[in-house]
A and B are shown apart, each in its own frame.
Chain A
Amino acid sequence: MKKGISILTLVITIIVLIIITTITVVAGTNIINNTIKKSFASEMYSVKNLVEEYEFLHDEYPIKSEVIEFNISSLSTSDINQFSDENIVNNKVVLYEIDLSKAGVNSVNYGSGTSTYDIYAYSIDTNKIYYLAGKKIDGITYYTLTDELYDELGISEIN
């Protein structure tokens, strides 16, 4: 009788290990993606609430005066759909940068101004909030609180 482990046993062991690793990585990636999604949605929702609260208290929006003409021509069709409620003229959407300190925000994970578009912007026409740099999670770039992000937060209606 031959001693040692046969090549077949070794191959099966490696395959089982690869399957376990793949399942673990996929499950882990899903958990991380969902966590990032929830965290991003929560921050955007919080900023939106603070903007609304400021507007209620002061009868004006906590926004900077310069108009941002955000060019969406380079975005994919599905990304552009996130701006479909806005008045799009020549591929541009008129938005205003949210003054976070005015709105009462001390610190943020996103929108802290580390790059030109790393900001939160507000649409006066639709009262929607946008993160202009977009946050890519699991292949989808999120610019605003989409239905999916509202679902992630467990919120039933856009209010």
Chain B
Amino acid sequence: MKKGITLITLIITVIVMLILLTTVSITGFSAYNNSVKISLASEIASLQVATDNYYTKSGEYPTNQNVQLDISNVSENSKEQFMLEDIVDNKIMLEVIDYTLLGFKSLKYGLSENGDNDIYAVSNITGKVYYLKGITLGNYTYYSLNDELTELINFQDIDISNSNADGIIINSSDITWTNEDIDIEIRIPTNIEVTSVLDGTTTVTNNELNNTNTYYIYNITNINSNRDITINYVVNNESKTEVYNVNNIDKVSPILVVSEEQKLMESVNDIYAYTTITVTDELSDIKVVKYENEIIGDSSNDGLKTIEAYFENNGNISYDDMLEIEANVSDITIYVEDSAGNWTVQYVEVQEEIYNALFEE
């Protein structure tokens, strides 16, 4: 009997090994691709919510410069990720995200280490976050959180962009408290039948198509008071309403009431005086109460400008309703500003007996 392994055994072993290797390679490759997709999706999702949160709180995106993305070399099927943006000559304007403003110290992608487009950017039209270099897997390049990536991480929030479930985008020129007029831009996908757009109770009729014919754009400008913007529309034979509340306009100055009573207090080691103030604001709430131990500005227009400019960087902050009167101070200027930037000022003359009691040589 011959020893060793026969040729047929060897061939069968090699075939089995090849089949195993092929299976492992395909499974491994697929798992690796999925891992890359989940990794990218997780990172974009984290940046998206952090960017949304930043925008909600500050009224601006955490960006440091504009960038123009050229999509002329992007394949047609990958281009669908940009269809909600304004595309001019195959170029899209975006804003580069400064991820350090969001508390990120590092990222897996978008660190500007692999070419100019190795960055994350956000669209100020849709609020969507994009990875401009993109990651190509097969014949598709992933730039943003598309349906496939969203499904992979199975996480979706309604604030993922500025659009509602039917793709209507509403952008305000200012979403934080303001004492100035604001402008609203409404973008309604052209596959939606618009019944009416109402600014308060007034019907808005003027609209135009964007340059890719994907949206009707309604611009409502110089909105000077809080009200609802209502969009009535029909999609898939279902009548729907989208309401945007303009509720961040406050043009009313805060109310400051200074007590006429000035009290002198004496303790064992000290003598001091104080008066009390009451501050209220109907809408945006009090942002800051400041005072200075002298008269700042006067009642003329120039004086008013001086007051606002002075207290922007100067003055003592008052943290409660008590205002201590210091020695050798004959007049106090009290300045109150609300969150929308409205302010009021009042001058308080220190009563003679208080001044004399506190007087120091």
Which positions in A face B, CB cutoff 8 Å?
2-6, 10, 17, 24, 28, 31-32, 34-35, 38-39, 41-43, 45-46, 49-50, 52-53, 56-57, 103-109, 153-157, 159
Contact = CB atoms under 8 A, between A and B. Distances in A.
A106 to B, nearest CB: 4
List of 9 A-B pairs having minimum Cβ-Cβ separation, nearest first: A4-B4, A156-B105, A42-B42, A154-B106, A109-B154, A49-B49, A106-B156, A46-B49, A35-B35
Residue in B41, B103, B107 with the greatest tally of chain A CB atoms within 10 Å: B103
Given A35-B35, A41-B42, 14 more contacts: A2-B4, A6-B4, A31-B31, A38-B38, A42-B43, A45-B49, A50-B53, A104-B157, A104-B158, A106-B158, A108-B154, A154-B104, A155-B103, A156-B105
B308 interface: no
Contacts of B4: 2-6
Nearest to B158: A104
Interface string B31-52: 1101100110111011011101
22 contacts: A2-B4, A5-B4, A5-B10, A6-B4, A32-B31, A35-B39, A39-B41, A42-B43, A43-B42, A46-B157, A49-B52, A50-B49, A50-B159, A52-B53, A53-B52, A53-B57, A103-B157, A108-B154, A109-B155, A156-B103, A156-B104, A159-B103
A100 B5 CA distance: 64
Nearest to B151: A107
A103 B49 CA distance: 12
Given A4-B3, A107-B154, A108-B155, A39 B103 contact: no
Interface of B: 2-6, 10, 17, 24, 28, 31-32, 34-35, 38-39, 41-43, 45-46, 48-50, 52-53, 56-57, 103-108, 153-159
A45 B48 CA distance: 11
B104 A5 contact: no
B49 to A, nearest CB: 4
B46 A42 contact: yes
Contacts of B39: 35, 38
Contacts of B157: 46, 50, 103-106
Contact of A4 (B6, B34, B52, B154): B6
A88 B127 CA distance: 41
B5 A10 contact: yes
A3 B153 CA distance: 56
Given A42-B46, A53-B53, A104 B32 contact: no
A49 B45 CA distance: 11
B267 to A, nearest CB: 37
A105 B34 CA distance: 23
Contacts of B153: 39, 42-43, 109
Contacts of A10: 5
A38 B155 contact: no
A155 B99 CA distance: 9
A56 B56 contact: yes
